[in-house]
Amino acid sequence: MGTRPLLNRRLAKMGTTIFAEMSALATATGSINLGQGFPDTDGPEEVREAAVRALREGRGNQYPPGPGIPELRTAIAEHQRHFYGLSYDPDTEVLVTAGATEAIAAALLALLEPGDEVIAFEPFYDSYAACIAMAGATRVPLTLRAPSFRPDPDELRSLITPRTRLLLINTPHNPTGTVLTADELATIAALAVEHDLLVVTDEVYEHLVFGATHHPIATLPGMRERTVTISSAGKTFSFTGWKVGWVTASPELVSAVRTAKQYLTYVSAGPFQYAVAEALRLPDTYFDTLRADLLRKRDLLLDGLTAAGFRAFTPEGTYFVTTDITPLGEKDGIDFCRTLPGRCGVVAIPNAVFYDDVDAGRSLVRFTFCKQDEVLQEAVTRLRRL
């Protein structure tokens, strides 16, 4: 093995993802886990039953088709048409992936060459940095700053160089909860067209919006042919463990992403695909109730965090609240999160890990509200002891 480090240079700084680290800390200390974003209640019973039925009936127990089962690809295309008026051919313009995580990896590995630059909102979801690195490309952060966490169009324009290949956007945005407005998307789209850039858009929180409206950037003029849209069943249907995600894009883009996907996982888990096809066809009331429940939880957590002395920023989307811990006399979110379980039995995520410019996120800490009301109540009671 010699003296050469085992982990390749591109991943050398990545380490363990903060989500795994903090969830392990929650388990070890018996704390309430408001760190990693996963619901503590499973999704709809009929969707669970659909998975069991598929498994029992032997549907999907052997390798399903590479692009995903036709029933699911059709349901994804129908979902895009129903909610956004976007029309995709299920056979050539839809690809099923192992969660949005694989969709992100396959898209970036397929579309980037070493040396390309990718502009992404900072703070970024951690897998973006890792996948851009694995592709040998360079990430260029467009920082969303407190208190509004909105992208500055002039800053975006100034970051574009002849090496820029791709804009990686995320709306609703994890961890800040920013939902891009129609105007912001129009500015981004105009720049993408002007500079002939690809856009990869992570819309996994598309149904988790409060007051704001989610607009897929693919609906904007000139964008459908240059945009890879990514989503997942994990957040919308509260089955984060199933890892069923998808890509919608032009045939050329889907074909590129599929080429990478084939050699990452080959195919995605079969029986869950049948269940997610049914989930996507749930009536609109399902999506409305999901949103209403989460809005109540958001406000419960926001009020509790404010009462406990945090400065809490109201998210328009996702199931995360970003806070500033400065009013508590604290400075460093990483230290704060490491000691929080011992101090009051709650786990959170330090936003600093999502920044290249660590100072920009040093005092910010993220809490999730996709937990039962009683759990959130108990968490804020504990946090008040700080």
Footprint on this chain of ligand PMP (rule: CB under 6 A): 99-101, 125, 170, 174, 202, 204, 232, 234, 240, 243, 245
Q: According to the binding rule CB under 6 A, does residue 287 interact with ligand GLN?
A: no
- Choose the one of ligand PMP, ligand GLN, none that binds residue 178, judging by a C-beta under 5 to 8 angstroms depending on kind: none
Least distance in angstroms from the C-beta of 319 to ligand GLN: 9
> Is residue 36 a contact point for ligand GLN (CB under 6 A)?
yes
Give the C-alpha separation, 383 to 27, whole Å. 18
* Minimum CB distance to ligand PMP smaller for 198 or for 308: 198
The Cβ-side half-sphere exposure at 154, using a 13 Å CA radius, reads 0
Question: Which residue lies nearest ligand GLN, judged by its C-beta?
Answer: 37
Cβ closer to ligand PMP: 33 or 174? 174
* Shortest separation between residue 153's beta carbon and ligand GLN, angstroms: 26
In the bound state with ligand PMP, the residue whose beta carbon lies nearer, of 99 and 141, is: 99
Least CB distance to ligand GLN at residue 6 (A): 23
Tell me how far, at minimum, the Cβ of 329 lies from ligand PMP, in Å: 30
Cβ-proximal residues to 69 (8 Å cutoff; 6+ apart), any chain: 60, 96, 270, 273, 274, 277
**How many residues touch ligand GLN (CB under 6 A)?**
5
Q: Does 236 bind ligand GLN (CB under 6 A)?
A: no
Residues of span 352-381 touching ligand GLN by CB under 6 A? none
Residue 37 Cβ vs ligand GLN, minimum distance, rounded to whole Å: 3
For residue 53 the two structure tokens come to 């039925």
Which among ligand PMP, ligand GLN, none contacts residue 245 (Cβ within 5 to 8 A by kind)? ligand PMP
Q: Cβ closer to ligand GLN: 19 or 84? A: 19
The option from ligand PMP, ligand GLN, none interacting with 170 (CB < 5 to 8 A, set by class) reads: ligand PMP
**Shortest approach of ligand PMP to residue 149 CB, angstroms?**
14
Q: Which is nearer to ligand PMP, 188 or 308 (CB)?
A: 188
Residue among 33, 80, 171, 174 that touches ligand GLN (CB under 6 A): 174
Both tokens of 50, joined, read 């659909």
Q: Which of 32, 33, 34, 37 binds ligand GLN (CB under 6 A)?
A: 37
Distance of CA 337 to the CA centre of its chain: 21
Q: Pick from ligand GLN, ligand PMP, none: which does 232 bind, CB < 5 to 8 A by kind? A: ligand PMP
Q: Which of 214, 209, 207 is nearest to 284 (CA)?
A: 207
CA distance 142 to 246: 26
Site string for ligand GLN, 121-160 (x = CB under 6 A): ----------------------------------------
The Cα 361–Cα 340 span in angstroms is: 18
Query: 164 vs 318, which CB is nearer to ligand PMP?
Result: 318
What are the φ/ψ torsions at residue 244 (nearest 5 degrees)? -115, 115
The residue among 192 and 200 lying less far from ligand GLN, judged by its C-beta, is 200
Q: Which does 36 bind (CB under 5 to 8 A by kind): ligand PMP, ligand GLN, none?
A: ligand GLN
Q: Do residues 165 and 302 touch, judged by C-beta distance below 8 A?
A: no
Does 19 interact with ligand GLN (rule: CB under 6 A)?
yes
| Residue numbers at the binding site for ligand GLN (CB under 6 A) | 17, 19, 36-37, 174
